Amino acid sequence: MRSKKRQYIPYAERLNLQLSADKEQQKKELRQCKQRVSEIENLYAKLYEDLTRELITEKRFQMLSARYDSEQV
């Protein structure tokens, strides 16, 4: 019985390492997504300012805001 347990230890260690690597990758992707959401929020604010200063048309505002909306979903 002990020899069977020893056989599984390297597999369990590899599995644990893989899970750790996957977790780190997910953390990295989460950081990137949060950063992009922040960028989009800043873009929205600038876009709205441009609309209120009449630097862009309402149609252009709607088109760009729809693009940002679709990216956030």
Rounded (10°) CA dihedral 26, 27, 32, 35: 140
For residue 3, name the pLDDT band (cuts at 50, 70, 90): low
Residue 54 Ramachandran class (φ > 0 left, ψ -120 to 50 alpha, else beta): left
> In this predicted structure, what is the pLDDT of residue 9?
75
CA distance 67 to 56: 16
pTM of the predicted structure, to 2 decimals:
0.68
7-44 residue pLDDT tens: 767 877 888 888 888 899 999 999 999 999 999 999 99
CA distance 11 to 32: 32
Q: Is the pLDDT of residue 69 over 60?
A: yes
Contacts of 68 (CB under 8 A, 6+ apart): 40, 43, 44, 47
> In this predicted structure, what is the pLDDT of residue 72?
80
